[in-house]
Amino acid sequence: MTNIQQTHDAQKTLADLRDHLARHDKPIAFFFGAGTSCSVRIAAQEDGTKFQPIIPAVAALTTICREEGGMLGEEYGAAWKSVETHCEEHGQDPNVENILSRLRIMLNAVGNTDTLSGLNKEKIARLEESVRKTIARVVTPDLGRIPSGHAHRKFARWLVRTSRRNPVEIFTVNYDVLVEHALEAERIPVFDGFVGSYKPFFNADSLRRQESAPGANWVRLWKMHGSVTWQRFELDGRIRVVRGEPNSAGEMIYPSFEKYDESRQQPYSAFTDRLSRFLEQDDALLIVAGFSFGDEHINNLIFGALENRPRTHVYALQFEEPPHESELSRRAYQRTNMIVIGPETGIIGGRRAAWAPVESPAFMDVAFELKPGGPDDVAQDPEGQNAKAGLMKIGDFASFCDFLEAMTGG
């Protein structure tokens, strides 16, 4: 096999992505995971020598919630370990979302005189509440500490400079309000399915009927796992979901997918349906950033659409190399319309290969870099080891937004 066959052309890959994003008539959506939020970093010390994510990644958030739960008492810490074991036995990552989901299942299953994982019903409820409140507190930071040039603002500025026939849609599983904050800072009108002015309430009909939603110049924002700004509100004996200021209870974060009443079920099911409808459009493009494809429910939606819609394309921008045995890699090997961009390798056309080192034009400087060795070593490397010289950076959301900014000369 020749050296060219063993690599992917980084320049062509980025040029193709740039061309897709530049098309005014193409249905385009973004799917943001936790990695987009933790890409925003603030000074951890006053002298500015150390920085930390303003919102931690899922693993760090899980650790914080575990520690908070353990502070309730030894039995709560033991219960957490028991639930972690149950997750692992069922092939689930024992992260905070899966822990929270299992706690809710336990809460629905346990009798008033029974115990599960060493906790009775009241104590399971207390641990579940601790997790919710801890998440709500951690993902509601002081936004005044964020520098004005952070990644989400650059993303918003790119949106300002583009005009489209179809509205840009943003799907996110994050609970925080970093996206909303950035869009409003750039004076971009946003529609999120809530209507009203006193206590905006969720209106599912506005997602199903185009005439019930604002025009194409309004960005759509669908928070698929809820938000710290949602809460349940009773008026005249009816429960509805409303949006307001962030609340510390975190009552409407992360759906359990158990049988809830309609007010709990509706926002999540409506946004899930909206993602399916978007992917069913001919020639749709979904850019996935900061998401590791660890959510089986979301995976089924995306992968199912790719199988049925060969003209729908998904770019999965990965911060870390996806393992060969991962669900993402396996699906990308099977589907040519799934493009996976990792730092050292890409899966394109169903084939995994390293990035070939290239002379980087201006638009690539923020998205690609040469590792030691460089392009001069290509001719001296018949075994293809030079492939290690190319490093793709756009799996980092901050670099991806730099890439968007470079597209518009910002």
Could you tell me which residue, 288 or 380, shows the higher pLDDT?
Answer: 288
Same domain, 127 and 167: no
Span 143-183, pLDDT tens digits: 888 888 899 999 999 999 988 888 999 999 999 999 999 99
Same domain, 33 and 133: no
CB atoms within 10 A of CB 120: 16
Give the percent of the chain with pLDDT over 90: 61
pTM of the model: 0.90
pLDDT of 377 reads: 43
Q: Residue 113 CA to chain centroid, in angstroms?
A: 40
What gap in Å lies between CA 387 and CA 406, rounded to an integer?
26
Please list the alpha-helical segments (H only) found in 139-261. Answer: 151-160, 178-185, 205-208
38: number of CA atoms within 13 Å, CB side?
16
CATH number reported for the structural domain that contains residue 193 in this entry: 3.40.50.1220
Question: Is 178 within a domain?
Answer: yes
- pLDDT surpasses 50 at 279: yes
Domain residue limits at 86: 58-138
With 0-12 / 13-18 / 19 or more C-beta atoms within 10 angstroms meaning exposed / middle / buried, residue 211 is exposed
- pLDDT surpasses 90 at 228: yes
Same domain, 217 and 155: yes
Same domain, 93 and 108: yes
Same domain, 151 and 175: yes
- Please choose, from the candidates 280, 391, 272, the residue with its C-alpha nearest in 3D space to the C-alpha of residue 31: 272
pLDDT of 410 reads: 60
Same domain, 104 and 188: no
Could you tell me which residue, 1 or 91, shows the higher pLDDT?
Answer: 91
pLDDT of 253 reads: 87
- In this prediction, residues 235-252 reach a mean pLDDT of 87
Q: What does DSSP assign to residue 323? A: P
110: number of CA atoms within 13 Å, CB side?
20
- In this prediction, residues 224-237 reach a mean pLDDT of 89
Question: Is 49 within a domain?
Answer: no
Boundary residue ending a domain (84, 115, 138): 138
- Least confident interval from 83-97, 197-211, 361-375: 361-375
Same domain, 175 and 315: yes
Question: Is 221 within a domain?
Answer: yes
Q: What does DSSP assign to residue 261? A: -
pLDDT of 344 reads: 93
pLDDT of 368 reads: 84
What gap in Å lies between CA 387 and CA 385, rounded to an integer?
5
- Number of domains comprising the chain: 2
How confident is residue 385, by pLDDT bands cut at 50, 70 and 90?
A: very low
pLDDT of 149 reads: 87
pLDDT of 358 reads: 66
Same domain, 284 and 215: yes
359: enclosing H helix or E strand: none
Boundary residue ending a domain (138, 163, 197): 138
Question: Is 247 within a domain?
Answer: yes
- Please choose, from the candidates 31, 138, 104, 97, the residue with its C-alpha nearest in 3D space to the C-alpha of residue 254: 97
- In this prediction, residues 207-212 reach a mean pLDDT of 79
Q: What is residue 203's three-state secondary structure?
A: coil
Same domain, 236 and 106: no
Give the percent of the chain with pLDDT over 70: 89
How confident is residue 361, by pLDDT bands cut at 50, 70 and 90?
A: low
pLDDT of 294 reads: 86
Question: Is 328 within a domain?
Answer: yes
- In this prediction, residues 52-65 reach a mean pLDDT of 94
What gap in Å lies between CA 34 and CA 55, rounded to an integer?
9
Could you tell me which residue, 208 or 61, shows the higher pLDDT?
Answer: 61
Q: Which of 96-100, 338-342, 386-390 has the highest mean pLDDT?
A: 338-342
Question: Is 317 within a domain?
Answer: yes
- pLDDT surpasses 90 at 250: no
Per the structure block, which two tokens stand in for 353?
Answer: 């290969």
Same domain, 216 and 166: yes
Average pLDDT, the chain: 87
Same domain, 240 and 198: yes
Could you tell me which residue, 201 or 258, shows the higher pLDDT?
Answer: 201
Same domain, 62 and 124: yes
pLDDT of 47 reads: 61
Boundary residue ending a domain (111, 138, 165): 138
Span 347-360, pLDDT tens digits: 999 999 999 876 65
Contacts of 89 (CB under 8 A, 6+ apart): none
- In this prediction, residues 79-97 reach a mean pLDDT of 93
Look-up of token digits 């998440």? 135
139: enclosing H helix or E strand: none
pLDDT of 365 reads: 78
Q: What is residue 390's three-state secondary structure?
A: strand
Question: Which residues are 355's β-sheet partners?
Answer: 8
- In this prediction, residues 270-276 reach a mean pLDDT of 92
Question: Is 53 within a domain?
Answer: no
Could you tell me which residue, 44 or 249, shows the higher pLDDT?
Answer: 249
Question: Is 48 within a domain?
Answer: no
pLDDT of 239 reads: 83
pLDDT of 381 reads: 46
- pLDDT surpasses 50 at 384: no
What gap in Å lies between CA 288 and CA 330, rounded to an integer?
17
pLDDT of 79 reads: 96
